Amino acid sequence: MSSDVRFTDFKSDKQPTWCPGCGDFGTMNGIMKALANSGNDPDNTFVVAGIGCSGKIGTYMHSYAIHGVHGRSLPVAAGVKLANPNLTVVAAGGDGDGYSIGAGHFIHAVRRNVDMAYTVMDNRIYGLTKGQASPTSREDFETSTTPEGPQQPPVNPLALALAAGGTFIAQSFATDHKRHAEIVQQAIEHDGFGFVNVFSPCVTFNDVDTYDYFRDNLVDLADTDHDPTDYDAATDKILDSSKEYEGVIYKDESSVSYEEKFGVTENMSDIPSGAPDDAMDLVREFY
Amino acid sequence: MPADFNWAIGGEAGDGIDSTGKIFAQALSRAGRHVFTSKDFASRIRGGYTAYKVRTAIDPVQSVVDRLDVLIALTPRTIEENLDELHDGSVIIYDGDRSTMADVEIPEGMVGLDVPLKALAEEAGGAIMRNVVALGAACAVTDFPIENLDSALKKRFGGKGEAIVENNKEAARAGLEYVHEEFDHEFDYDLDTTDNDYVLLNGDQAIGMGAIAAGCRFYAGYPITPATNVMEYLTGRIERYGGHVVQAEDELAAINLALGAARAGARSMTATSGPGIDLMTETFGLVATSETPLVIVDVMRSGPSTGMPTKQEQGDLNMMLYGGHGEVPRFVVAPTSIDECFWKTVEAFNFAEKYQVPVYVAADLAMAVTEQTFPPEAFDMDEVEIDRGKVVDDDSIDEWLDDKGRFQPHAITDDGVSPRAFPGTDQGAHMSTGLEHDELGRRTEDTEMRVEQVDKRDRKVETAKNDEDLSPREFGNPDSDKLVISWGSNEGAMVEAIEFLEEDGVDVRFLSVPYIFPRPDLSDDIEAADEVIVVECNATGQFANVIEHDTLTRVKRINKYNGVRYKADELAERIKTTLESEEEVSA
């Protein structure tokens, strides 16, 4: 990989169809900067996207990529990484993709701790289907399908990740470009599953969790004495519903990735042109 | 005695039936005899009845028959369940000291051997070896040299230490000697040995071995009967070749993990049964439209829903052929025997990569849980060829770049197959998507490109029909005007049924079809025949429907869907009845 890769090299020539002002622009730019700053280039990068507004990200980026089935980006990304650990793998999705239809995979991807980054563009709404409640929507958030609000507490994705044994749990704000890119870069460089929940406001359908709301309520942990390696302190922050935090909230410095645990090191695309040399031994086992 | 010998051990689940049966099968195989095993689960009464059956002969055996010569019965129910198969002169070995067996009645004409299995096992070192005492007794009845049993005991118990092996050998001898000393009876059975070397394996294992041979390096799956053995086989073996097995959280994840690995360039596979295919169908369209090579094994079992999970059925053919919304080509290959499970898996990987398609391997429970002997050369690894199709590298990618230097993973080509660049290839970065896409892989709703991409994908099937040998396997009399067609594991029973039919003066031509899609055109064969029967293990005749559709000809059908595989003698009878009948029959 070359050292002169710029973040714009990760841009495709497709113009995004996101609404002007959408948080996803900032989220994507930050991912591209993080990839370039951590020494990757498009030919060794694999982006896995889900379905929803967020799912379009692979189309607007230039890298190896797959835009998959709704909610299944994490198993795809793990498959890519395990088959070729030399690749840098980033999965990107939204709150519906990750915490609703894909919630089962989220927990197990966190547990599995494959070395990859997962960025969730959390806008607390379903945008592509024109404004229904998402799993992170507020309890009283009125939408076309929830006229009284969902009347269920929102999912706390950070707490889910913590409970599942997460080794890197972070949150960022799409429009806070520098911090967001830094945090995603740390997630990419983390030896294990680097999870970043990105506040990525929907300017069209969410008039509650807006840019202004986040600007007014966001606490950057870099401005505090928070120690992300302190599990108890991280737990307190994650369970504190009175504030929105930005930064790396928890990081397990002793994290060992799945690949390392299982000794998965080879590029599996390299295979011989016939059966392995000693393959008759497999037959003789059945003697 | 007939050329083949049929033996079984039966009891409650948890009685060690499977492992005891496997030891006996192994002993026979190591003695140079051919073996075909089957497992019986409760058929008439609900409960824990289970049996392991072994058919053996000097010549190859590839089916079960309705006859049982020696039965080790640990419960009264074992006898009751097998009354139809037992006959005059059958030997039943049992332990009359066991309270449930004390009053057991041996049916008239059969020979009951009351052997104190538990007591003799205790003398040899522990009651747990009760079944091994019974195996020794079976050796006495069949005049089978007990040294062969020693070898199988060593294989089974060698890991537990020499003392355990020796105790088991002693237990077996105690059973042998007890029969010799206590029963003054000339038994009809005589299990000769040969110097032939055989291996003994089941269909799931053959699929797993085929995958490794074919270069499969990534497997993701979720445990499900009867496909779990594929995963268990690969675990601990695929790693030796740089591969890995992931136990996924569900089948949705399993196929997506496998898809991811395939996108990264690995030969990748998942295996499941019908309920898992239901979930995987969600992702199937993505695999196919992103033109990702993937092998999906469906080891069919009885459905629908949870159905009869430990029973045989070939009910998923329609799902494999047509499952999923929208229209997109897929390949379906169906191994017709246990050795073919190996070869068709190898072929499935080549199809997957040559045509960049998902390939279903349609196996079924009857072959997955059955062990059969083969000479090792049946799995000659030198014969395995790997064809990765149109893969480009850093140099050859140039001819597939557009005028702006962008790689075209879905280039419109004459044969329908586009170039494939593994991630890491310079200039190969590209998008794959379940959305309709242009040649670059980018979303499009352009009306012309839509049609071009659909046609391109469909063209791969035509290419395969032209380039691949999709011939059926042929048996019986090639000139007969009575044609039997089948698929999957019915082949073994049908091949043996041909012999039964010949004895009755009926000759048939038999085509066993391993390629379900794309498939051979059987129009000429069907036209040449006066009568055509399609045999399969389902109620609605899913393959018969396909044949009728292809050839615009009505066929007779033999269907079985009670959960039990065809037996050779039973199938011969049904073919005779069906040939005589005017109407389609099914039962």
Q: Tokens standing for B133?
A: 């005492």
Q: What is the pLDDT of residue B330?
A: 97
* Residue whose C-alpha is closest to residue B341's, from B374, B382, B387: B374
Q: Do B265 and A269 touch (CB under 8 A)?
A: yes
Q: Note the pLDDT tens digit of each residue in B168-223.
A: 999 999 999 999 999 988 888 999 999 999 999 999 999 999 999 999 999 999 99
Domain boundary among the residues B383, B401, B430 is at: B383
**Which residue of chain A comes nearest to B249, CA vs CA?**
A108
Q: What is the pLDDT of residue B582?
A: 74
Q: What is the pLDDT of residue B44?
A: 52
Looking at the complex, report in whole angstroms how far the Cα of residue B215 sits from the nearest Cα belonging to chain A: 6
Task: Specify if B196 maps to a domain.
Answer: no
The CA distance from A160 to A173, in Å, is: 19
Q: Residue B30: its chain A contacts at CB < 8 A?
A: 287
Task: Specify if B189 maps to a domain.
Answer: no
Q: Which amino acid is at B243?
A: G
Residues 6 or more apart in contact with residue B161 via CB below 8 angstroms: none
- Taking a C-beta distance cutoff of 8 angstroms, is the pair B134, B93 a contact? yes
Query: Which pLDDT band, with edges at 50, 70 and 90, does B47 fall under?
Result: low
Q: Do A46 and B264 touch (CB under 8 A)?
A: yes
Q: Note the pLDDT tens digit of each residue in B298-314.
A: 999 999 999 999 999 99
Chains A, B: CB contacts under 8 A, how many? 212
Looking at the complex, report in whole angstroms how far the Cα of residue A248 sits from the nearest Cα belonging to chain B: 28
Looking at the complex, report in whole angstroms how far the Cα of residue A20 sits from the nearest Cα belonging to chain B: 20
B 10-49 residues inside an 8 A Cβ radius of A? 29-30
CATH number at residue B40: 3.40.920.10
Query: Quick check: B68 pLDDT over 90?
Result: yes
Q: Note the pLDDT tens digit of each residue in B569-580.
A: 999 999 999 999
Q: Do B424 and A267 touch (CB under 8 A)?
A: yes
A 201-240 residues inside an 8 A Cβ radius of B? none
Q: Note the pLDDT tens digit of each residue in B482-494.
A: 999 999 999 999 9
Q: What is the pLDDT of residue B46?
A: 52
Touching check for B253 and chain A: CB below 8 Å? yes
Spell out the alpha helix ranges (H) of B239-316.
251-263, 274-289
Q: Note the pLDDT tens digit of each residue in B328-343.
A: 999 999 999 999 999 9
The CA distance from B411 to A83, in Å, is: 25
Q: Residue A264: its chain B contacts at CB < 8 A?
A: 244
Which stretches of chain A drop beneath a pLDDT of 70? 1-3
The CA distance from B77 to B153, in Å, is: 27
Domain boundary among the residues B419, B452, B467 is at: B467
Q: Note the pLDDT tens digit of each residue in B444-477.
A: 999 999 999 999 999 999 999 999 999 999 999 9
* CATH assignment, A7-284: 3.40.50.970
Distance from the Cα of residue B12 to its chain's centroid: 25
The CA distance from A79 to A95, in Å, is: 22
Looking at every residue in chain B, the average pLDDT score rounds to 95
Touching check for B215 and chain A: CB below 8 Å? yes
CATH number at residue B285: 3.40.50.970
Q: What is the pLDDT of residue A3?
A: 59
- Taking a C-beta distance cutoff of 8 angstroms, is the pair B513, B472 a contact? yes
**Which residue of chain A comes nearest to B394, CA vs CA?**
A43
Touching check for A66 and chain B: CB below 8 Å? yes
Looking at the complex, report in whole angstroms how far the Cα of residue B19 sits from the nearest Cα belonging to chain A: 15
Q: What is the pLDDT of residue A1?
A: 45
> Are B458 and B517 within one domain?
no
Q: What is the pLDDT of residue B89?
A: 93
Mutate to test the interface with B, among A69, A257, A261, A278 (most CBs of B within 10 A): A69
Q: What is the pLDDT of residue B14?
A: 86
* Residue whose C-alpha is closest to residue B487's, from B539, B447, B443, B542: B542
Q: Tokens standing for A146?
A: 């929830």
Touching check for A253 and chain B: CB below 8 Å? no
> Are B416 and B477 within one domain?
no
Q: Do A83 and B265 touch (CB under 8 A)?
A: yes
Q: What is the pLDDT of residue B361?
A: 98
Tally the domains of chain B: 4
> Are B124 and B249 within one domain?
no
- How far, in Å, are A89, A110, A116, A238, A255 from residue A190 at the CA level? 12, 13, 8, 19, 8
Touching check for B429 and chain A: CB below 8 Å? yes
> What is the dihedral sign for C-alpha B516, B271, B327, B411?
negative
The CA distance from B504 to B530, in Å, is: 19
Q: What is the pLDDT of residue B339?
A: 98
Domain that holds residue B498: 473-580
Q: Do B386 and A273 touch (CB under 8 A)?
A: yes
Task: Specify if B479 maps to a domain.
Answer: yes
3-state secondary structure of B429: coil
Q: Note the pLDDT tens digit of each residue in B106-151.
A: 999 999 999 999 999 999 999 999 999 999 999 999 999 999 999 9
Task: Specify if B137 maps to a domain.
Answer: yes
* Residue whose C-alpha is closest to residue B317's, from B364, B247, B251, B387: B364
Strands annotated E in B513-574: 515-517, 531-536, 556-559
> Are B89 and B106 within one domain?
yes
Return the H-helix or E-strand segment holding A60: helix A57-60
Domain boundary among the residues B423, B440, B467 is at: B467
Query: Which pLDDT band, with edges at 50, 70 and 90, does B503 fall under?
Result: very high
The CA distance from B327 to B332, in Å, is: 15
The domain spans of chain A are 7-284
Mutate to test the interface with B, among A5, A45, A46, A76 (most CBs of B within 10 A): A76
> Are B107 and B178 within one domain?
yes
Q: Residue A77: its chain B contacts at CB < 8 A?
A: 260
Task: Specify if B499 maps to a domain.
Answer: yes
Touching check for A55 and chain B: CB below 8 Å? no
> Are B461 and B495 within one domain?
no
Q: Do A105 and B385 touch (CB under 8 A)?
A: no
Q: What is the pLDDT of residue B447?
A: 98
Q: Do B428 and A284 touch (CB under 8 A)?
A: no
Query: Quick check: B586 pLDDT over 60?
Result: no
Give the one of B237, B426, B431 whose C-beta lies nearest to A59's C-beta. Answer: B431
Q: Tokens standing for B82?
A: 């097998």
The CA distance from B23 to B4, in Å, is: 19
Q: What is the pLDDT of residue B48?
A: 83
Q: What is the pLDDT of residue B583?
A: 60
Touching check for B540 and chain A: CB below 8 Å? no
Task: Specify if B70 maps to a domain.
Answer: yes
Task: Specify if B193 maps to a domain.
Answer: no
**Which residue of chain B comes nearest to A272, CA vs CA?**
B215
* Residue whose C-alpha is closest to residue A53's, from A111, A97, A104: A97
Give the one of B200, B209, B282 whose C-beta lies nearest to A69's C-beta. Answer: B282
Q: What is the pLDDT of residue B185?
A: 82
B 362-391 residues inside an 8 A Cβ radius of A? 376, 379, 381-382, 384-386
> Are B33 and B100 within one domain?
yes
ipTM above 0.90, yes or no: yes
Query: Quick check: B587 pLDDT over 50?
Result: no
- What is the residue whose two structure tokens read 């005891």? B20
